[in-house]
Amino acid sequence: MTFANTWSLVSLLALASLAACGAPAHDAETQGASGELATSLDSLGGPGESSTSGAAGSSGGGHATDGGGESTTSDESTGPVSASGVKFDVGAQPDAAGLETEGDCAIPAHTPCDHLDDDPWHAIGINCPGEFQVVTNYMGDPAMRHVHAGQIGTYNPPTYPVHEGQKLVILSSGNAVDVVTPGALGSTAIAGQDPGDLPAPMNPTPVGGQGCAQNPGLVGAGDCSNTISGQWSQGSGAFDYAEMRVVATVPEGVYGFSYDFIFFSTEYPVYYQTQYNDMYIAWLESETWTGNISFDEQGNPISLNAGFLDYKDANGNLDPECPCAAPELQGTGLEGHAATKWLTTTAGVTAGEQII
């Protein structure tokens, strides 16, 4: 699974709690997420970080493939929100409570370990001592990733409380610490982070209308969600790029995972609806799915131009929803800019397979 930030903007993919229950593939009830960026995962754990590289998703508004079932997204205030009319191929996680009572779910034991150190993987519940281990890799300048303790911002009640343990991870296309620094300019002046193309195995090419659920032969041919290309093509490549990647063999009895994330953009309002389109991709590479898995609560891919931004603290010239103000962003580096709420992504996997 890969979480990736591309293009110039201060974006946050933070905090994920990974649950290890799920439905069979193509029983798609899922939520926004993206595959090659930093967020917090809370289901595959183990100590240390090894060198290798590699994430999975939700529904896309109008662009997603015609898969099995209607996908859903959720946020912390409203709960599940139906992405009306949107179909999504990737498997999802059913009601965990029901599975637990029936003994059908084998969730790997997990205890938060982010109090031990400032390891970014521990902050998202991965590779805690004595727990399930995965291979991890980070691509980006050290300044583009930051471990933060406590809530983000000063608004009360907190807009962005920590969802597990004491810390969360910020993954940015610039200086990550700017997200939690009031008045910061959101600098992306970090050299050497402009690959142009997305690193393998990510491929923004849409697989087409039939979709990977109806035609498994399309898996590996591109983005099964058909959501990346429309946003990717607005720019000229990947700039200010950073990613967090996980490679894991799915344990027996585990059929899905989920994680929570937030998307921040300092490019709102100045660059809203221009070619400078900040973007977050959660890429899942599995036997039945290759593509984006993270979306907003309306089923859109996570980007400045396509995504639904819950909090807008400035007036965008091309934004019909403004005038806008967002006191919820008080005490953050996003005052005068925009962000989403906490969002959740859920996707199905197959026990025994290797996922990236």
Q: What pLDDT digit, counting tens, does each position of 125-158 carry?
A: 999 999 999 999 999 999 999 999 999 999 999 9
3-state secondary structure of 329: helix
* Stronger pLDDT, 328 or 274, i.e. the higher one: 328
8-state DSSP, 251: P
Residues 335, 178: Cα–Cα separation, whole Å: 11
Both ends of the chain: CA-CA distance in Å? 4
- Cβ-in-10-Å burial (0-12, 13-18, 19+) of 71 comes to buried
- What pLDDT, on the 0 to 100 scale, is given for residue 298? 84
Backbone angles phi, psi at 214, to 5 degrees: -75, -30
Residue 141 lies in domain: 1-356
Residue 4's pLDDT band (cuts 50, 70, 90): low
Strand partners, 18: none
- The per-residue pLDDT of the chain, averaged, comes to 75
Do residues 147 and 167 lie in contact, with contact meaning Cβ atoms separated by under 8 Å? Answer: yes
Residues 216, 116: Cα–Cα separation, whole Å: 43
Strand partners, 95: none
Structure tokens at 226: 């058909």
Structure tokens at 162: 């920590």
pTM summary value: 0.75
Q: What pLDDT digit, counting tens, does each position of 100-130 carry?
A: 433 456 777 889 999 999 999 999 999 999 9
Q: What pLDDT digit, counting tens, does each position of 5-50 carry?
A: 543 222 222 222 222 233 222 222 222 222 222 333 332 222 222 2
Q: What pLDDT digit, counting tens, does each position of 218-234 carry?
A: 999 999 999 999 888 88
- What pLDDT, on the 0 to 100 scale, is given for residue 307? 78
- What pLDDT, on the 0 to 100 scale, is given for residue 102? 37
- What pLDDT, on the 0 to 100 scale, is given for residue 88? 31
User: With the CA atoms of 234, 237, 242 and 244 taken in that order, what torsion angle do they form, in degrees rounded to the nearest 10?
Assistant: 80
Provide the number of structural domains found in the chain. Answer: 1
Residue 94's pLDDT band (cuts 50, 70, 90): very low
- What pLDDT, on the 0 to 100 scale, is given for residue 164? 94
- Residue the block writes with tokens 């660059």: 271
- What pLDDT, on the 0 to 100 scale, is given for residue 236? 73
- What pLDDT, on the 0 to 100 scale, is given for residue 339? 95
pLDDT at 324 exceeding the cut of 70: yes
Q: Write out the DSSP string of 91-108.
A: -----HHHHHHHT---PP
Q: Write out the DSSP string of 2-34.
A: EEEEESSS-------------PPTT--------
